[in-house]
Structure 1
């Protein structure tokens, strides 16, 4: 069979959406809506480019390359190994997986604890149960569509739909005013907000599992698998657009009703409580629980499958248990410490990841052998310097004060764009002209 049925294609797209859609994806859009107010549609335009476009392009890029190793190998084989390892560890057990448990606990359990309850013990029990479920489901990564596509994703969408419809039918207010930079440059601010989701890094991980699920449905020819992964990416992107739009609308109404809010969580909590009372807190808790569980399952599956391939001495089952257990421990005991390391690492590897993704769609980059190495080198050096200089890890005379005092914080994250373009141009002109065979 060379293609999936329409139904199976939708299931795979839903599965991909659910693997992406975690707590961060729930928090950013309502905050955008609350801050942008009447300019929410413009802010959403910019947000969609980076929060939806980059991740979907990432999935498609890895599918066409064959794997993340092969894509990163266009720079250098050693870079491919180190870069891929950093991505799987930073987006997996060192950051995203532990946070799924801690975030869902804060939203789904903490609001119902009494003052004298032992939060530490309850959180430990919760995290054991949470990771036990995630571990069990991740034992069959090739069958994730059976659970995520058919059950948990539809349930999550229904719950979000209830919140949106409630806000649509009985809004406590209209859209509020725009605040801060959202009032001045809503499209740019939305673009930068979407950039901060860093979902493009997760996209580089998920291709391996989506391909397995497509294979499990009878499509095994490589070109057909690539085509189906591309279809899944566009389906997931369309779902993202609808869901992000709905949640941003909820946030915009919350901003109109309650004024400027601290974050997206505050916006969602305030409006669900207003619309549904205590049942609204239950609704919101279930939304966060399902979103975090889906992402956790997807990440454990991806990480365990990858490590079972590069270190086959241990099976996928053993790696899944290891990642679930380590993440459970970190979520209870050392999350703050591990975040202090993993978040800066993510800040360093995210720019080169984006450059890799974008270059993969330019055939000319592969025909000039220095384009990939120089573009990634210039990007990586810039992102490392910016993170170290602005994160308090080191002081670079003149540069640190310039970055901190003269450049807005949110713009610093895009300082790599100029050096990346310089690297691409140098790589193009310094590379020997491609031979007729290469062309």
Structure 2
């Protein structure tokens, strides 16, 4: 038995709606606005990172039999600690609170009077926002009915309307590349793709999608994995089209109003465009897009995190903990964090992503090593992940110290010795060394066992 074409389309929309949130909406236009005439290579780099890697992640996890099986090739402890770190990052510590704060910034902040108590309004907004997400996330097996049938298509409609308006308006003369995109546009686009967090999310979103597929009557696990992979590929295709369209939107916005790459964001790019083309109605339209996108992702993340902890920790201190209890905990915690403010969340999340993303990338790429080679050199997994983890966490510590106003000159100097570190790709050399060490270590141990 397999899903019908209509059911597969619904699963694709569900998967897309879970992926596509605030970061996915604001970063592509920011790429287009900064890259200007060089948007094509910049967008390609962004798409490789923000679409290619997550799709590979879905495929790797699906055919490995889950994230635990994939990370377990390194060690059971790696599976546990990396899994917890990823879930907390894409969940209550960063990504979930960011959905509420970003949508608040776009939907409410532009219309606040100067004498209004921002903190009180934000608290009220976040209470309503998380209440809705909580209701939608209570039944993960029915998530496709909410996201797949209604919110996903609505979000696509809103983005399409914005894109068509830009086509009618025309691009004019694209601006010269500026800011981080003044040079090496493709590499910069690749790095900015990290900010979507989609690779990390891809390693676990398959859990919720699998539940929805089983709810359609698919019992065979092989077929469940196949349908999950199909939904992942369909989502990837949708994201490529939408990122291309939003990059074009950014180019158009850049011709209407120049941006400051240091202080402005993708939200500024979209606000400039909609205000110029539609006035106040445009601001309301943009806010609606953000709320729908953020609510979609928030719902999916709460489902994913609660499902993971319910399956991993069915009891705490000898007392059973239900799925709904985990859901309440993550919803309330995220609500509290979201009121700390968007800038604080982003400042801390960037270094953490710099630590987790390289580990996730090498873990996914290693999954595609031919099985014969993986069996012949099994220690490659451990060596590569260990050396990349050391490098990426050292970079994370260095960045976090800088965020809080400090510095570690000796660590700066040490990391600066790594090739490509100035592109934030210093982990590539340790990964290559890890492959070599893993091959040597596996061969030596094999010869000792034979001898």
1:381 to 360, 375, 390: 390
TM-score (norm 1): 0.93
Task: Work out whether 1:370 is the aligned partner of 2:379.
Answer: yes
Q: Which residue in the other structure is 2:323 paired with? A: 316
Q: Which residue in the other structure is 1:263 paired with? A: 265
How do 1:112-191 residues align onto structure 2 when only pairs under 5 Å count? Answer: 112-171=111-170, 173-180=172-179, 182-191=181-190
TM-superposition CA deviations, 1:226-265 (whole Å, max 9, x none): 1111111111011101111111101001112223443211
User: Matched residue pairs, number?
Assistant: 433
Task: Work out whether 1:431 is the aligned partner of 2:442.
Answer: yes
8 Å contact from structure 2 (residues 50, 196) kept in 1: yes
8 Å contact from structure 2 (residues 194, 353) kept in 1: no
8 Å contact from structure 2 (residues 140, 211) kept in 1: yes
TM-superposition CA deviations, 1:82-126 (whole Å, max 9, x none): 111111112100111111111111111111112222221111111
Q: Which residue in the other structure is 2:276 paired with? A: 274
Task: Work out whether 1:105 is the aligned partner of 2:104.
Answer: yes
Deviation at residue 181 of structure 1 after TM alignment: 5.3
How do 1:335-346 residues align onto structure 2 when only pairs under 5 Å count? Answer: 342-346=349-353
1:391 to 384, 400, 415: 400
8 Å contact from structure 2 (residues 419, 429) kept in 1: no
8 Å contact from structure 1 (residues 94, 339) kept in 2: no
Deviation at residue 407 of structure 1 after TM alignment: 8.5
Change in Cα spacing, 1:172 to 1:430, as seen in structure 2 (3 Å) is closer
TM-superposition CA deviations, 1:352-393 (whole Å, max 9, x none): 111111111113234422111101001001111122234327
8 Å contact from structure 1 (residues 174, 257) kept in 2: no
TM-superposition CA deviations, 1:140-173 (whole Å, max 9, x none): 1111111111101111111111111111112373
Q: Which residue in the other structure is 1:300 paired with? A: 302
Task: Work out whether 1:241 is the aligned partner of 2:240.
Answer: yes
2:339 is paired with a residue whose SS is helix
Deviation at residue 33 of structure 1 after TM alignment: 0.6
Change in Cα spacing, 1:195 to 1:124, as seen in structure 2 (3 Å) is closer
Q: Which residue in the other structure is 1:419 paired with? A: 430
TM-score (norm 2): 0.90
2:115 is paired with a residue whose SS is coil
2:401 is paired with a residue whose SS is coil
Change in Cα spacing, 1:346 to 1:280, as seen in structure 2 (3 Å) is same
Change in Cα spacing, 1:301 to 1:360, as seen in structure 2 (3 Å) is same
TM-superposition CA deviations, 1:44-75 (whole Å, max 9, x none): 12221111000111111111122211111111
Select between 165-174 and 210-219 the one with higher mean Cα deviation.
165-174
Change in Cα spacing, 1:244 to 1:122, as seen in structure 2 (3 Å) is same
Work out the CA distance in 1 between the residues paired with 2:341 and 2:280: 32
Deviation at residue 331 of structure 1 after TM alignment: 1.2
1:117 is paired with a residue whose SS is coil
Work out the CA distance in 1 between the residues paired with 2:77 and 2:227: 30
8 Å contact from structure 1 (residues 206, 302) kept in 2: yes
How do 1:8-23 residues align onto structure 2 when only pairs under 5 Å count? Answer: 8-23=7-22
